[in-house]
Structure formats: structure tokens, C-alpha cells
Structure 1
Amino acid sequence: MAAHTEAEIRRAIKPLLTVYGELNTSEVKTLLHTVLEFSEEDNIPSATRNEVLIIQRIGNIVAHQTETIKIYDEGFIVDKNFRPAKFSLINPITQTVIPPAVVTTIKEKTRRFVARKIDWEKARDRNNEIGDQGEEFVLEFEIDRLIETLSMNRASAIQNVQHLSRLQGDGLGYDISSINDDGSPRYIEVKTTSGGFNQAFYMSKNEKHFFEEYGDSAFIYRVYNFNRDTRRGDVTIISQSELFSNFNFDTITWQVTPK
């Protein structure tokens, strides 16, 4: 795998900010590996700085920014009035920085929820081909949802929907990042089966904990009647409140079924 470009790094910073709200340059450097898998070339030591190349490129994003404050198409703002510079999540609908109180809430949720690097139940799902195909299907489904409900052009919709498990496993605790109708972050966990809606799906303790913490911002995209040949199926979007009210959880097998 080749070294990541600055453009690819910028795209990975957005989902990082969805669970931290704002970070300074040093914090981005420390946390980027949780959302982006570094290649061997990324980890080559810099010839000019005491850090590896990908970490240097994070600093280059700030250094190459000619404006003091700049809004990036990827969904965040960099403010060089701060030392080190501050990266802040923006609402893509209003193009404004999210309020400090919201940042505090996001950081508190993230502090309570520590995504495990190895989640064995999730790893079992990840090794299931239908799970991967279901996520790819939902990625396109969600892009289309933004185009239809928010009247976004396709390029903007693609910028606002990211496949996190494609970037770096399950470091943040969910599969796909998107936005709600008001521009706030939406966290999507995809559950896919070839059978009907009533077929059981698996939800690990770690995933359940994520939904407990992130409340109204977390959604199950339940994909069922999935056809592996056409790579299409039916989708029902399940909110956190619906998940805990309308489904049974088996704490032995971690199977989830409708009541």
C-alpha cells in the first residue's frame, strides 16, 4: 500500500472529529492511526523532522494553509490563530463550527466509550463476506439518502459519507459516518442477513455500549433479503430508542431479534 496523500489524510480527519468535536494538530497526529491504517511508506522516517512521513504530512496540512482560518470541503475548519492549530468539526448544512457545549458532550461520550482494537464478535462479522457487501450497499444507500433528503449534489454527499471500517477496521466503534438532516453527525452500524427482517443478527457488547452512549445519533441500518449476486437488499433504519424498545438481546449468543 502506497503512502497516503494529504487529501486522503484530510478525508480521514473528518470521522476523527465526529467523535472528538475538535482537536489540535498534536492530538490529530496522536489519534490519526485510529481511523487510518498506516502503510509501510507512511512509517518511513522523515529526512527533515523527527517523525514519520505521515505525521509530517498532518503538519503540512497546516503549514500549506495560506489563510489563517480555512474551511475544508472534507467537513472541518483549521484555525491557525491557535498554537498548535485547531481542527474543528463543522456543520455541513450551516458551514459553522459546532458549539462548544456540543464539543464537550461529544468528548464526554468518547471518554466513556473506548472502542476496542480487537472486538472478537465484530471480527466474526467482518470475516463474513455478506457483512462487507452489506456495508458497501449501505454506503451507496446513504449517499442517495443525502441527495434526496438534503438536496445535496453527489460530490457533497460523498464527502459527508465515509466507510470507516474500510479506512481502519472498527477503531471508532461504528461502520459508516454520515450526517443527520440538521447537519449533526450520524453514526451507522450495518447489520446484514440474507434472510428476512426477523432473522437474528449479531451485536457485540462493544457495539451495544456504543449505542448506549451515542443515543439519538446512532442508527442500525438493518439490511435483509440481501442478494449476494446483485448485492442489493431491503433496508430498515432503526434508531437507538427503537433498538432498545423493540428488540430482544441474548447476552449469551449476542443475537438480536425483533420482539
Structure 2
Amino acid sequence: MKNNKFNEVYPNQSLIHYPLVLELFKRGGKAKPNELYESLADYFELSDELRKKTVNENTKELKWHNNVRWARQQLVDKGILKNDSNWGIWELSDNAINSYFDTDIEHAISEDTVKGKFTQEQLESLLEKQKRIGELGEIIVEEYEKKYLISKGCIKLAEMVRRVSQENCREGYDIISFYEDGSEKYIEVKSSTSNQLEFYISINEYEKAKKLGDRYCIALVRGINLELRNCKEIKEINNFNQLINTNKVNLVPIKWRVSLGENH
């Protein structure tokens, strides 16, 4: 999806990750970098000036190409791209689709990330896996919250921790827990088999974060292993709304709601 705000500014390298992986999927999993530079520049609608700008006045190396190469190296470090591909080839790792897109199967599919068409069977398999990842993440956080409260002597509070997502999936959070003083803690769980610090948030979750303020937190459950039913880490992000207001997180629109006028 194109984003006009980048017309006159180079996007942060971390923002290049997603469209770079998308382009590689569309090209069958691997491509030459020269095939990717312009496609990514089009994605961000970069101006001609930014596309042609060099790293400095003493070199012909284009700054945009340099930024994309750094983004590629970061994906190599994350294990999303291979480090041992043939010279001049950028290639996705074997487990890229599982580790990179499991946080948002719907978006992955809508962007046609896999070369060719999805069968109904493939779709159902991906959605079922995403469901199991999400459910396990909630169970892990629920148990973590209970154990924490018990360790602080708050046994009655621990008994009241519950997964509200089982009752109503439109609350804007998944778990109600408690702080030690007895005040409620609203937790939205974001689960992934990868170790990335990126996730997707709905408009409902965003509005709930604004409304609840410092009582709303996001629990990133990273490195989930479905077979062992555990995870590598739970990272808690407190007062998400304040992070947004102070520009300490990057929000990138990936979907728009379209309404046609009555006279259309």
C-alpha cells in the first residue's frame, strides 16, 4: 500500500522490511536487488529527487539503494532472508512465511504474498494455525498474570484474571488482569512465532488504548512454539497511547475503509 507521507522523506529502514519481503514473495522468493529498488521506491511513492540522491557528493552510490541494502541486511540478521544465497541474489529463508506473516494472515493473503493463488484448503490451514498461535499466546499471558499476582500475595486477584476474548472478541483487549492495588489491567495479546517487535493493531484496539490510558497494555508473546506450548519471551508495553502521542512508536496504515457516496 502506498503512503503519500513518504514522498519527500526516506522511510525508516524498518519500514522497508515488509514491502521488501512482499516483493520477494511475488517474485517467487528471490530476486536481484536491481529488480527491487524501483518497485520499493514506487511503493513509498518516493520523489525523483530522492530516487536520484547520492550518499554524498563524492560517490555515485544512490542513497535509496543504500537504505534498501541496509534493510535487507537487517532481515538477514532476523533470519527472514538467507545469508548464503548466490552472489547478487536476495532470497527468502525457508521459514519466512511462517515467521514473518503469522501475525497477520489476512493481510498477507490480501497482498498476494505467495506466488500463485491460494486454495481454500491453504487458506483454512493458515487461518487455523493463526488461531492456535493466538489462543496459545493468550493462555500463556493469562497464566503469567496469575502466577505474578500469586507471587505478590494477591491470591484473590489472581483468581479473577480471565480471558474476555472468549466472551466477546470485540472488547479491544483479550485479558482482564489486575495491578497489586486491585485496579484493573486490560491486556491486548499479540502472539507470534517470530522474535520481531512489530505487530498489527485494529482501530478498535487503538481507540480502547486511548480510552483506558495507563490501564491498557500490550503483551507481545514472541517465539511461540506450538508443539512445546511455550514461548521465548513476553514483552509488556505499558500505556501504549502515550507511546503513540510521544512518537515513540511508528504507526503505518496498511488498510483503508472506502465509502462510496450516495450519488456514485
Pairwise TM-score range, normalised by the shorter structure: 0.3 to 0.5
- Greater share of strand: 1
TM-score when normalising by structure 2: 0.44
Which of these two proteins has the greater Rg computed from alpha carbons?
2
Q: Which has the higher contact order (CA 8 A, sep 6+)?
A: 1
TM-score when normalising by structure 1: 0.45
